[in-house]
Chain A
Amino acid sequence: MERFAIYVPRLLPQKEYFAPGHRACLGCGEALAVRLVCKALGRQVIVTNATGCIEIISSPLPYTSWRVPWIHSLFENTAATASGIEAGLKILTKKGKRAAKKVKVVAMAGDGGTSDIGLQALSGAWERGHDFLYLCFDNEAYMNTGIQRSSATPFGAFTTTSPAGKLSIGQTTWKKNMPAIAVAHDIPYVATACPSYPFDLIDKVNKAAAVTGPAYLHILSPCPTGWRYTPDLTIRLGRLAVETGIFPLYEVENGKYKLNFDFPRLRPVGDYLSLQGRFRHLPQEVIDQIQARVNAEYQKLKKKAA
């Protein structure tokens, strides 16, 4: 296996902490993201997971894909459970009831479990300043229950609860800016990431895990089933999301913005939207609307990162 060691994969930890045999759809961007995240995190973690795609596909009794300690309780309380785990470990170490070994508390949830039903618990945990890493795997809808809209669903997207019809273009609100909400809580590290940029994702996971205090990573997870595209395009779509400026990759360290990938010219949003069935119904005016918004938001971000 020595040849393995001199090529690019050597930059990745080899062990798979997220075992194959999980029930994710073909080409699932979220499963890939979780796999890469787990590689970066290693063994010394305790993971708490919200109800959602990843939780369901990875833990069908009597099987589990998890090779690290993992607990799932409910949909909206991931951050609260993480708070309890963090406090428990802290006090047990302090009282000498457990070995003083550094274990990172990691919370994983989808976009619904983060920006909708889980927002309260997350805001509370951030305000209390618990030392934990929160990862939001954003596939832009409630995918596990059958593609219903969430506040992370992009403008104009078709979901079963925001379908396109004679009177509707699909989702009629803009995607909730979760990283901005995280930054507003004054937490030490916030970043966006995408599995199409695996080394960037892994670097950010490492950086976030090294923070003492709350850290937040918002990871775009392309979903073939919900976004309606052939499974082989997952990585390409993630890249297009970044290259069109729809999902810029940036970090905010202690309030200071940094754009990780800037492009001299953004690709037109049409390149990204046209590949996905969930946007197929959009008339040109709406696409133009989206383009205008993306341009404006990107400029705002660039200003913050200047």
Chain B
Amino acid sequence: MEGSFAVAEAAKLADADVIAAYPITPQTHIVERLAELVANGELDAEYIPVESEHSAMSACIGASAVGARTFTATAGQGLELMHEVLYIASSLRLPVIMAVANRALSAPLSVWGDHSDVMAVRDCGWVQIFAENGQQAFDLTLCAFRIGEHPQVLFPVMVHLDGFHLSHVVEPMSLLEKSQVEKFLPPYTHPFALDPDKPVTMGAFAGPSLYMEAKKAQDAALRSAKEVILQAWQEFGKISGRYYRAVEHYRSEDARVLLLTMGSFSETAMVAVDELREQGEKIGLIRLRLWRPFPFEEICQAVGDAEVLVVLDRCLSFGAHNGPVCSEVRAALYPQEKKPKVVGFIGGLGGRDISVKEFQQMVTRGLERAEKEIKEEVEIIGVRE
């Protein structure tokens, strides 16, 4: 089935209570399928067809605050419109689960996939996880409920799937049985759910004497959520046979040059690595799955003894030193004694594809840039002059 439908199935199996969503290409199939499921009684949920993404996230906050399992989906401009509300969800510790069909940001308008929408919400405090194919979109969405609602986490979770490449491509899938999901997902309870029997005040304002402490506590909580995430993926692996990790390795153990990708390009990169390996090159691939909280240790471990790390960013950060992923990976590796030379590429913007050949070109060119220590930090692959 299609990636979008798989995500909807995951929400259905999780028995979501409230879905408040606004349609936007390329996420429309998710919300349409969810509406269908509710209309047919296959999913017993309140479907709120809100009038904007800002209201979608606001309604999700309200629902989660009273103890309802909440799900929504968006993409590109929609993610930006709900920007300020995202911070509220994470700061009020409300585990809203959201699938994002990553889409390029206007202007010019582009409905096709890239990661610029994700990178614009890097700091919003949500747990952020990347899927590379439709199966993962399903699996990771299910895990997201388990992670976000966990009493030691209580953070909202975003599952990222590349727009069109994942949302609309059909592939064979293995779904879980309802009984398996019921074992995996305990019911959701918020410790301070709004209830007249236990009145609480949520969203009070903080003066300068309190704000920093609140944010520090929030950051510490998000970082320590990594443990629960890894554990949840282990549990999921036991049930489904599919294990997920914060950083996935592909033929990277003895690699001299490593590629690093995030999202659906990982699959193309894997083919490129296979071909290059056949030619005798010692190439490997690291696939970043957990984006927030950033897996510092896992990245440092994954690069091993590689000499060069070629990072692909699917987002152009205007006027910045390098792409966001490259910058963050560089920063993670900086304190290490031994680290590879990190070279950044930007590609795949606005839905443009990157071929296996282009990945191989990236490796060659990456080696060149690393050896020659070329001044120009960023290179955009696959673009006309």
Contacts and interface: CB of A to CB of B under 8 A. Distances in A.
B98 interface: no
Contacts, number: 165
A121 B55 contact: yes
Interface stretch (B130-138, B200-208, B365-373): B200-208
Contacts of B140: none
Given A76-B54, A124-B52, A59 B204 contact: yes
B194 interface: yes
Given A87-B18, A92-B68, A124-B51, A71 B59 contact: no
A87 B62 CA distance: 9
Contact of B51 (A63, A98, A120): A120
Interface string A54-82: 01100111111011111111101101111
B335 interface: no
Contact of B46 (A73, A87, A98, A121): A87
Given A56-B205, A59-B201, A83-B50, A69 B17 contact: no
Interface residues of A, number: 50
Interface stretch (A42-50, A172-180, A291-299): A42-50
Interface string B65-99: 11110100000000000001100100010000000
B262 interface: no
Contacts of A61: 204-207, 210
B46 A71 contact: no
B201 A83 contact: no
Interface string A278-306: 00000000000000000000000000000
A209 to B, nearest CB: 14
B378 interface: no
Interface in B39-62: 44-46, 48-52, 54-56, 58-62
B172 interface: no
Contacts of B210: 61-62
B68 A124 contact: no
B189 to A, nearest CB: 9
A46 B61 CA distance: 14
A249 to B, nearest CB: 30
B50 A80 contact: yes
A123 B55 CA distance: 11
A85 interface: yes
Given A73-B85, A120-B52, A60 B66 contact: no
A242 B70 CA distance: 45
A302 B204 CA distance: 43
Interface in A181-237: none
A84 B58 contact: yes
A67 B198 CA distance: 9
A15 interface: no
Contact of A97 (B50, B59, B84, B187): B187
B62 A45 contact: no
B62 A103 contact: no
B18 A84 contact: yes
Contacts of A79: 55
Contacts of A84: 18, 20, 48, 58-65, 70
Contact of B199 (A70, A86, A94, A123): A70
B195 interface: yes
A88 B67 contact: yes
B302 to A, nearest CB: 39
Contacts of A64: 201, 204
Interface string B190-222: 000011101111111111001000000000000
Given A66-B201, A68-B199, A120-B52, A89 B207 contact: no
A63 B65 CA distance: 20
A256 interface: no
A68 to B, nearest CB: 5
A217 B287 CA distance: 55
Nearest to B194: A69
A112 to B, nearest CB: 16
Given A46-B196, A61-B207, A91 B54 contact: no
A127 to B, nearest CB: 7
B204 A121 contact: no
A265 B50 CA distance: 46
Given A74-B58, A83-B59, A98-B67, 17 more contacts: A46-B195, A46-B196, A60-B207, A61-B205, A64-B204, A69-B200, A70-B200, A71-B203, A73-B203, A76-B54, A80-B54, A80-B58, A81-B59, A88-B18, A92-B66, A94-B44, A103-B196
30 contacts: A46-B194, A59-B203, A59-B204, A59-B205, A68-B196, A69-B194, A71-B92, A71-B203, A72-B202, A72-B204, A73-B85, A73-B203, A74-B58, A74-B85, A80-B58, A80-B59, A83-B20, A83-B59, A84-B20, A84-B58, A84-B64, A85-B62, A85-B65, A85-B66, A87-B18, A90-B46, A92-B68, A95-B17, A123-B51, A124-B50
